[in-house]
Amino acid sequence: MRTINLNAQIKVYERREELPAELADLLKQADDAARNAYCPYSHFQVGAALQLANGEVFKGSNQENAAFPSGLCAERTALYYAVANHPDTAIRRLAVVAVNPANPLTEPIVPCGNCRQSLLEYEHKFGQNIEIIMAAEHGPIYVANSVADLLPCSFTNDYL
């Protein structure tokens, strides 16, 4: 018998003022995106801002639906818009933030499993890590160097 150790690091910044400027700027755009969330069922507003390698930024927010599974997370709304329109440009980073007016969050939101899997696909496609910045309105900010760090032991096209 042997064991496989899965190690990953997430950087924690206690305040937004501590973030490198380009990360703070992208996070601010994610804040803006959260205002466009359509979330009449959960009232949980999520905003994402995705920056391509050429510097261009695409924003997304969660879009819910009366038929629950038909809705989509903020991260994938931004991701699929970006790659559908710029299929040949790598993704540099993505910032995601959540606002929950009923129960203000003090810990960062982290992308759900579906979003991690979707983002990982493009890390592989472009052969370039995607930095993930995670935040709430207040409290610390998490920064992961890559999607692979958030989804260790993952299923990829290497298996196909």
Sites of contact with ligand THU (CB under 6 A): 39, 42, 44, 46, 62, 64, 71, 73-75, 109, 111-112, 115
75 flagged as catalytic: yes
CB 37 to ligand THU: min, Å: 7
What's the Cα-to-Cα distance from 2 to each of 5, 9, 118, rounded to whole Å? 10, 23, 30
What are the start-end ranges of the H helices in the chain?
A: 21-34, 74-85, 113-126, 147-150
In the complex with ligand THU, the residue whose CB is nearer, 18 or 114, is 114
Phi-psi region of 75 (alpha: psi -120 to 50; beta: other; left: phi over 0): alpha
CB 42 to ligand THU: min, Å: 4
In the complex with ligand THU, the residue whose CB is nearer, 74 or 143, is 74
Q: Are 33 and 61 in contact (CB under 8 A)?
A: yes
Phi-psi region of 65 (alpha: psi -120 to 50; beta: other; left: phi over 0): beta
CB 137 to ligand THU: min, Å: 15
The token pair at 51 is 């920056």
The token pair at 52 is 């391509």
Other residues' Cβ atoms within 10 Å of the Cβ of residue 91: 25
CB 43 to ligand THU: min, Å: 9
In the complex with ligand THU, the residue whose CB is nearer, 109 or 141, is 109
Per annotation, catalytic residue among 75, 107, 121, 123: 75
In the complex with ligand THU, the residue whose CB is nearer, 52 or 98, is 98
User: Would you please indicate which residues are annotated as catalytic (active-site) residues?
Assistant: 75
